[in-house]
Each structure stands twice: as C-alpha cells, then as structure tokens.
Chain A
Amino acid sequence: MVKKKLFGLMAIIVLSSVLVACSEESGSSDGDENTISVWAMGEKGKKLKKFSKKFEEENPDLKVDVQAIPWDRAHDKLLTAVASGNGPDVVQLGTTWVAEFAEAGALMDLSEYVEDYPSFAKENYFNGSVSTMKYDDQIVGIPWYVDTRVLYYRTDLLKEAGYEEPPKTWKELKDAASKLADRGEEYYGLDIDRNDQITPFIFAWQNGYKANLEENDLNFDSPEFKEAIKYYTSYFEEGIAQAQQGLDIVQAFKKGTKPMFFSGPWMINIINDQAPDLEGKWATAVMPKKVTNTSSMGGANLSVFHNSDNVDGALKFISFMTQVDTQIEWLKASNTLPSRTEAWEKPIMKEDPMYATFGKQLEHTKPGLPTPQFERIAQELLSTIERIVVGGADLEEELKKFNKTAQNLLEE
C-alpha cells in the first residue's frame, strides 16, 4: 500500500515539476527592481550585451539583462509578449512595426518624460524618424539607430559605360543600367531585390506619391504611384534587372554582372569582408531623383513595454543609448548609423565618404506608411509585382485589384 501511495506522489511530483519548469521560463523576463531587461534583435543584440557594461559602470545600482533575439523570430516573440503581458522593460522595434504594436497598446506613452530626458525630444532626430516615434499623438519610441537605402555602384564599370559620376536622375539610371546590361547575356544593369518591401515605395515617393492616411486614402490609384510601379517593373521587362533569383548579390557585384543595387549601411562591411579585392572600385551615392530623391527611413526605435516594472531604469537606459557620445561609440562597435542628427556633425561622420553619403540621403527619407496594416499591404504589393513581372499579368488591372485590397485592409 505504501508503495502505491509513493507512486501517486511521484507522479504528482513529476507532473508539477514539469509545470513549474514551464512557468519559470515564461516568467524569467521580469526580474527584480534593479534589473533592466532588454530585448534587442539580431547581431546588434549580441553586441549590445557587451556594450551595456558601460551603462552598468555609470549606474552601479542597475543591471542590464540583454536578450538577443534573431530577427526572423522577433515578431513571434513580441506577439507572445503582448499575449502574456510578460515582456521586457526595453524593447527594440523595427520602425515598420511601431504602428502595429502601438495600436495593440503594447508600448508606453513617453510624452510626460520628455522634460526629464532631453534626448527624447523630437528635435534631435531626422524628419523621417520623427514620424516613427509617434502614434496617435503619443510618443511610443525613441530612435536608436537609423538606416536608409542608397545606390551602391561599381565606379570602374560605370566609367566604361561613359558615366564618370553616378546616375543622378531616373533617366540617367535607366540609361546607365541598359548600357551595362547590354554587355552580354549574363549581364544586368541594376539589381532590384523583389522581396524587399520598401523598394517599390521608394520609387513611388520619388515620383511624388503621397498617401493620405488622415482620410483613409492610400492613393494607390494615383498616376504617380502607377507610373512608379511601371518604371520599377520595366527594369525586369527589359531584362535590365534579373527577375529570377540568381547569384548572391555580393558575388554578382564582385563579378560585375550586377554593377548597381540599392541597399543599406550594413552592406559596406559585407562588401569589404567578402569582396576585399573590390576596394577602390565601388562607391555609394544618394538615390537618383525623379521629383525628389527620397529613400526609406529604416532602423529601430527603443520603446518601453507597457507593463514594465522598472520604468525608471528603462528610461535611463534609453536615454543612455541615445546620447550623442554613446551613439558614436555604438557606431564603432556595431556599424549602425546614429539616429541623433547632432552625431552626424562629428568629424568621423563627415570625413568618411561612405557615411557622408548616408548623411546626405538621410535628409530625404520617409518611413513606411504609419498604419498597423503596413506589413500586410506591403506584402500584397510584392505579390502584385510578382504577378506582373513573373506571371506576366496586366499592370493596370493588377494595380486596380491591389488598390482595392489595400483599401479594404486599411478600413477593416
């Protein structure tokens, strides 16, 4: 009899320990009052772990617990945090996600703290960033680092095609690209990443497209938008850009088969590492211009999670990360561009020609449409473009359909 009782007891112990283990894992993020838990994404998250030691030295009573989350799992992880209410104190958010999570009420309104922490003021940041800070008149995030797309090009190959300087207008870009594509069958002029959701919008903005979100009008049926998509798809139709997935862009850039492409600051290091013999043969330039030469405003903001139990610590940490000096240090540690405009006045930013290009481009940028449905709309646009480029569908008709779908999504 005793034995049987023991068995039952053991079963209960095993079961309860399993349950405890489960609950422990989900509860690990809320620590004691002196710990600031931070969720940061990707490689930066790993580097931030080391970097935050400096913050701990300045604030000996606080401890920073950084969790690095891979980018492709970040969205899922944030969803679970919203669902369970068990998030970190400080969370890094990609700028295109701000509207989505702000609408869900997952981010704290920081408006009342701006007086105490001057680095939170919107005057410190680029125009393109400022709109990512706000949602419904609340300040929900402070720009941490920025990025934008610029034109990467092979100086030597463009020279051969008769371009001493990078193309400055849409017309020149098309002309240079077609000349480069005419070199042979394997050769292309410009690489456009069809999976990149912001590129079509960049073209549209450059063509003077504007969404009217106040009146719930996305304006996707405007001639400006249509013309931009036509321009974008023409590169594939004329064989100037490769419609199929081909060689990795760095390899193709090295080989010279794809001598121009649009990308962000992270590409500088990748090219330097993977194609060191290209040194001196490539450069970056601001976007070619149609009406404007607008590019995208990307990057990440730091936000405070709505039920953080260490708001003061979180604010201190964000304030530390957005100091001009910290941002310059962070640039050296992680190669991400500072969000503070003041940091761009420093010599290191002005003297390096690569950074200087980005500095110039950052003055003409726009973030993705500030609506929670942006992700969905952008994905729809990419499939629409895929149908036109790969499936050979009619552009007018597809865009009409896309406009309807997008408008429905917005009004839902």
Chain B
Amino acid sequence: MNKNQFKNRHPYMFIAPAVILLTVFSIIPILIAFVISFTDLNLKGLADWSTITFIGLENYKELLSDETFLKSVYNTAFYVVIGVPLVIISSLSIALMLNYGSNWLFSTFRAVFYMPSITNIIAVAVIWGYLYNTEYGLFNYLLSLLSVENIPWLQEPTLAKLSLIILAVWKGIGINMIIFLAALQGIPKSYYEAARMDGANRLQVLFHVTLPLLRYATFFVTITTLIGWMQFFEEPFVMTDGGPLNGTLSIALFIYKEGFQFSEFGYAAAGSFVLFIMIIIVTLIQFKFRKSETEY
C-alpha cells in the first residue's frame, strides 16, 4: 500500500461496514444461489456435497416447460398489472386528501391508513379470512343484504387473485401514502401562490404544479412498489397457499415451495434467478423512461 492510498483511507473506512454487511449477507448468497442454480442440489446434496452434480442449464430448461412455473409467471404479471397502478393511484389520492388539513381528524386518518402496513400479516390473514369466507364472511353478508348471491372470494382462481390484490392494496397504501405526504409537504408554498395569482383553478394547480413536482416521489414509489409486487409472496402464502388450481401461485411462492417444501434447491435457485432477471429488466425500463423526461 503506498502512502497516498493510506492517507485516503478514511472514506473507505466509513463505507466499510455497509460494504462488508452487504457482501456477506447479500452478494455472496446471490453468487452462491447462482452457482446452485446449475446443480441438482437437494436435501441429500445438502448433507453430503459429493452427491451434487453439475447439470448446466437443465434447471432453466425445465422451468420454461414447467406448467406450474408458467402459471405462476402469469399470475405474478396479473398481480403487478392490476395491483401496482391501484396502489399508486389510491395512495396518491389519499395523500392529496390528507394534505388539505392538519387538524386531529386528518392525523387520525393518517394513522388509520398507515395501520395496515404495520400490522402482522398473520393477524391480517385471520381477519380477512373471516371477511372472505363464503358462508359466514362479512362481505357476503353485506352482499346478501343487497340480495346478491354468495361470492366464492377465495375459491375461484381469477376471483381469488383479485381478492388477494384488494387485500394487498389495502396493506400497501399506508407506506406509500407517507412518502407522498412528505413529498407534498416539501413543495414550496410560493409555487401555489404564483399559480393562484395567475388565476389557475384547483384542477390546474393539481396537474401543472403538484403532480409534476411529485415526480421524484412517484418514481421512487413506482419502483419500490413494482419490485414489491413482483415478489408478491405473503398474501397467497398465508391466505390460499397458491390454490385453488394454482390460481394464486406467485413466482416467489413457487420458489419457496420448490425450495423448502420439496427440497429442490437447485431448481428453486434457478427460479429465483429468473425472477431476479425479470425484476432487473423492469427496473431498467423504469429508469430509461425517467431519463427521457425533462428535469425540474
């Protein structure tokens, strides 16, 4: 090590803990999973490494012809396409509404909307399981008052997907709403004053001042929500276990089942890499779109 490098060591020291933690707990596991995805590692192989064989791209080939996996890809796309816009639109509208005032009523509602996102998923599953029950659930009871037939919320593949989306949107609103609220409050008052002087009405202010200035927040929320929904796991895991007829099986749940229920670690690792690549692609597309827009 030459003298100059030693002198400049301090920035490295500061980032060292983060880098080391990231390497040990994220990068190395990812690399190991990558290697595993080319092997037939299963429970036997885990106990005795000599029984592991390298099988090249076999796992990936099998994945692409695995009906269950393709189904899970379709389901995940379904979740993302419907869920992500729903979450963004609802959290943004709620944030806009909550931004109008700051008295106790508004802060109560902030808490109300934020509550679901800090509630334990098991508790959520129990309660929503009751709400969705076909025979004695609250939803069907309310519908029966309007003389609507019993709806099998979780027992029909497409309907079950939608039911899980409703649940996940309800759970996902809180955290995004907080981000939007923070961004909204960061917008300088002077812009609004200027707009008002120019005679802009409320809608014009919303579309020409507020929304453009929320671009960074929207971008951040879109990316995190998108990644979150591509890894959609908890809701189907606790509510339906992927059923009925694999109608709610997501890619993440597929990986979990292969890996931990059936001990096919190699296969599961390959699945997780396919998901990984899909997420990277989607995120890159997002960044591409953002660059083409004018900066404020």
Contact = CB atoms under 8 A, between A and B. Distances in A.
A7 B263 contact: no
A121 interface: no
Contacts of A245: 133-134, 154-155
A247 B135 CA distance: 7
Interface in B214-266: 243-246, 260-263
Interface string B127-169: 0000001111000000000000000101100000000000000
Contact of A390 (B10, B43, B245): B245
Given A390-B244, A391-B245, A11 B13 contact: yes
Contacts, number: 67
A372 B21 CA distance: 37
A85 B10 CA distance: 40
Contacts of B20: 15
Contacts of B198: none
Residue with the highest number of chain B CB atoms closer than 10 Å, among A245, A375, A383: A245
Given A82-B46, A103-B44, A4 B243 contact: no
Interface string B15-41: 011001100000000000000000000
A7 B13 contact: yes
Contacts of A76: 260
Contact of A8 (B13, B133, B135): B13
A104 B47 contact: yes
Interface residues of A, number: 33
Contact of B260 (A75, A104, A105, A387): A75
Given A79-B43, A247-B135, A376 B10 contact: no
A386 B260 contact: no
A386 B245 contact: yes
A246 B17 contact: no
Interface of A: 4, 7-8, 11, 14-15, 18, 75-76, 79, 82-83, 85, 100-101, 103-106, 244-247, 306, 372, 375-376, 379, 383, 386-387, 390-391
Interface of B: 10, 13, 16-17, 20-21, 43-44, 46-48, 133-136, 152, 154-155, 243-246, 260-263
28 contacts: A4-B10, A7-B13, A15-B21, A18-B21, A75-B261, A79-B263, A82-B46, A83-B46, A101-B43, A103-B43, A104-B43, A105-B48, A244-B134, A244-B152, A244-B155, A245-B154, A245-B155, A246-B134, A246-B135, A247-B136, A306-B47, A372-B43, A375-B262, A376-B262, A383-B246, A386-B243, A390-B155, A391-B245
